[in-house]
């Protein structure tokens, strides 16, 4: 019997990122690699706890007490705490912005490094209790030359990010990352505790067959969105698109990157700026989409060109296959 032996040349995320930096001839200090190691550790911690959540009473509201009378931390509070602690302790960050914190966190001089990390520690939290996929989204900027780290280092166009990614906690934990030269996907090998390269050079198909919108908001949608959706559901030629909507951005974007199609969370008559956050949801996902050969727009402008005025601002989002998103844009013109 031919039993297959395990590969002895596995490509871990750390190995891959280092290799990439050497290949590109960037002046490698190893700082970004060390920062990404810290992020990987937080993803492993969160993945483990998401899996255990049901067993150890992590679901439900923060502030609740368990039978022992101890305060239970909600998963998203836990995810936020581990990220802040690990990123600060990495010594590689200067400014942190989290969806969970009103204000940006400026790192003390002793721990300060040259990167800024913007993140949503656990996105899609409304899905936690049902065991549906959730994820961590992050974007990384380098502080401006001469800066010691202020909010202005993150109030910058998304195109200035040096890296972006997400980790999806599903049947396996998948980390998808771009450092500006394409997109790669890694799967957590729980036995090794390492993210292994499983999806090299992800390219979003130029056209897909799936649309992903919360159509429950249709009554509020603006005309271009209504008309676009009509065009793919009642096509004059060919088959109509399939609907897939999880309501967890990481999962909906992950599927869109792999299978193609269009994901949308538009601004509408009720949510004047949309729902998704520009800095740590739209930017990282737009960065990944473009790096994978797709398009990310508000309908009117390229998402990565927007310069945020405040850290928690929202924006309209459409992203995915180039041709599908271009079709949508035509309805805005």
Residues that bind ligand AHM (CB under 6 A): 99, 120, 123-126, 214, 247-249, 252, 265, 275
Q: Is the Cβ–Cβ distance between 114 and 228 less than 8 Å?
A: no
Residue showing tokens 């190893």: 30
User: Minimum distance between the CB of residue 16 and ligand AHM, rounded to whole angstroms?
Assistant: 27
User: Any contact of residue 123 with Mg ion (CB under 5 A)?
Assistant: yes
Q: Which of 251, 252, 272 has its CA nearest to residue 262?
A: 252
- List the one residue out of 98, 118, 149, 173 whose CA is nearest residue 284: 118
Coil, helix or strand for 308? coil
- For β-strands 262-265 and 210-212, DSSP reports them as parallel
Tokens of 262: 């269009």
Q: Applying CB under 5 A, does 252 fall inside the site for Mg ion?
A: no
Q: How far is the CB of 228 from Mg ion (least distance, A)?
A: 25
Q: Between 113 and 124, whose beta carbon lies closer to ligand AHM?
A: 124
Q: Which is nearer to ligand AHM, 175 or 317 (CB)?
A: 317
Q: Applying CB under 5 A, what is the total number of residues that bind Mg ion?
A: 2
DSSP designation for 66: -
Exactly one of 20, 80, 97, 120 binds Mg ion (CB under 5 A); that residue is 120
* 210 versus 285: smaller Cβ distance to Mg ion: 285
Q: How far is the CB of 316 from ligand AHM (least distance, A)?
A: 12
Name the binder of 247 from Mg ion, ligand AHM, none, CB < 5-8 A by kind: ligand AHM
Q: How far is the CB of 134 from ligand AHM (least distance, A)?
A: 8
The residues near 210 (Cβ < 8 Å, ≥ 6 apart) are 241, 242, 243, 244, 255, 256, 259, 260, 261, 262
Residue nearest to Mg ion (CB): 123
Gyration radius of the chain's alpha carbons: 20
Quick one: 92 or 277, whose CB is closer to Mg ion?
A: 277
Kindly list the distances between the CA atom of residue 157 and the CA atoms of 139, 203, 206, 287, in Å, as whole numbers in the listed order. 12, 23, 25, 11
| Binding at 214: pick from ligand AHM, Mg ion, none (beta carbon under 5-8 Å per type) | ligand AHM
* 119/141 with CB nearer Mg ion: 119
DSSP 8-state assignment for residue 125: G
- Give which of 245, 239, 253, 249 is closest to 209, Cα–Cα: 239
Cβ of 217: how many Cβ atoms within 10 Å?
16
Report in angstroms how near the CB of residue 134 gets to Mg ion at its nearest: 10
Closer CB to Mg ion, 232 or 319, in the complex? 319
Question: Which CB sits closer to ligand AHM, 39 or 128?
Answer: 128
Closest separation between CB of residue 163 and ligand AHM, Å?
21
Please state the closest distance from residue 250 (CB atom) to ligand AHM, in A: 7
Footprint of Mg ion (CB under 5 A): 120, 123
């Amino acid at each position: 019997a031919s039993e297959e032996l395990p590969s002895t040349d596995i490509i871990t995320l750390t190995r891959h990122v280092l290799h990439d930096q050497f290949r590109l001839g960037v002046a490698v200090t190893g700082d970004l690699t060390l920062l990404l190691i810290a992020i990987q550790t937080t993803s492993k911690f969160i993945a483990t706890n998401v899996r255990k959540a049901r067993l150890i009473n992590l679901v439900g509201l923060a502030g609740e007490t368990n039978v022992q009378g101890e305060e239970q931390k909600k998963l998203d509070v836990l995810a936020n705490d581990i990220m802040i602690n690990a990123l600060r302790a990495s010594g590689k960050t200067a400014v942190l912005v989290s969806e969970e914190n009103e204000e940006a966190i400026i790192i003390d001089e002793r721990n300060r490094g040259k990167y800024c990390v913007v993140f949503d520690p656990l996105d899609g939290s409304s899905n936690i209790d049902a065991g549906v996929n959730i994820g961590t989204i992050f974007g990384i900027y380098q502080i401006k030359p001469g800066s010691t780290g202020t909010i202005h280092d993150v109030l910058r166009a998304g195109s200035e990010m040096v890296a972006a990614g997400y980790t999806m906690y599903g049947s396996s934990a998948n980390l998808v990352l771009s450092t500006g030269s394409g997109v790669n996907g890694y799967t957590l090998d729980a036995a090794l505790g390492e993210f292994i390269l499983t999806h090299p050079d992800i390219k979003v198909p130029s056209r897909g067959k799936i649309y992903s919108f919360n159509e429950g908001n249709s009554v509020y949608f603006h005309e271009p969105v209504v008309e676009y959706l009509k065009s793919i559901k009642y096509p004059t030629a060919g088959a109509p698109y399939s609907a897939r909507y999880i309501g967890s951005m990481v999962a909906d974007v992950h599927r869109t990157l792999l299978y193609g199609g269009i994901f949308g969370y538009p601004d509408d008559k009720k949510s004047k700026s949309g729902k998704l956050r520009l800095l740590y949801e739209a930017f990282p996902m737009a960065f990944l989409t473009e790096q994978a050969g797709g398009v990310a727009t508000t309908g009117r402008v390229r998402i990565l060109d927007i310069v945020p005025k405040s850290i928690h601002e929202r924006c309209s989002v459409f992203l995915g296959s180039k041709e599908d998103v271009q079709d949508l844009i035509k309805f805005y013109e």
